[in-house]
Amino acid sequence: MTQKWSELIMLHWPVPERKVSETTPEDLRPDLYNGQAWASVVVFKLSNLRVFPIRFLKWGSFLEINLRTYVRDEEGRRGVWFYSLDAADFVSVVAARLLYGLSYNLSEIKSRQSGQQVSFDLNRILFGGKSRSHIQASITDQEIPREKGSLDEFLLERYRFWASRNHKKSTTAIVKHKPYEPKKVEAAQYRGALFGSAGLGEPNSEPVLSHYSEGFPVEASAPSWFNIAGQENQT
């Protein structure tokens, strides 16, 4: 499967390690940075979606908002666990739930932009229980240096995700894209129900760290349980 992610806004908060352990599958464990677990809200535009073997079918572009945390599996492989993924495209939502077991929800997402200030309003309408969330941020042109071992690298450079159809065992897939070229975000704010619906508890402060990325093309493997010729899951 191939697609393009554009205009990513990523807001990050520290969260209790115990909460991450309680809300992710038993075969995953929290991936910590200096002893701290993290969760992130990510907003972006998804376009150019093509799915093997029906690449001739074209999807329109749509907005997505997801809540993720950072985990390792029993082999020590690092990646992300998605608590929720909200999108407005019904076919994509259903397909991702069936193929990957991802917790996609059908939602209405409205965006507004005034200069460098952007905002998003999410209204969840199917699968995840009705809820609303609001995200806003001011994008800058200030580039963030990419330093190996930094918290920025820990939060951004993730090339594997897990999903699960039950709480005991997860399935995994790989994503491929170029490294992030992050820019600084100012005045980032979030309010809503994403964290609460995941069992984490809503943050009571602005994000500790925020990033913006113009985006890049992305390739995702088939899930580990479903290998198709040309789409084998990688280790």
pLDDT at site 99? 81
pLDDT at site 59? 67
Other residues' Cβ atoms within 10 Å of the Cβ of residue 234: 11
- Residue ranges and CATH numbers for the domains of the chain are 2-220 (2.40.400.10)
pLDDT at site 137? 97
**What is the C-alpha to C-alpha distance for residues 173 and 158, in angstroms, rounded to an integer?**
12
Q: Which pLDDT tens digit goes with each residue over 132-149?
A: 999 999 999 999 998 999
pTM for the full model?
Answer: 0.91
pLDDT at site 104? 93
pLDDT at site 233? 44
pLDDT at site 55? 56
Residue spans of the chain under pLDDT 70: 52-59, 165-168, 225-235
Q: Which pLDDT tens digit goes with each residue over 86-138?
A: 998 888 888 888 888 899 999 999 999 999 999 999 999 988 777 899 999 99
Q: Where are the alpha helices (DSSP H) in 12-138?
A: 17-23, 90-100
pLDDT at site 228? 43
**What is the C-alpha to C-alpha distance for residues 138 and 133, in angstroms, rounded to an integer?**
18
pLDDT at site 124? 93
pLDDT at site 190? 97
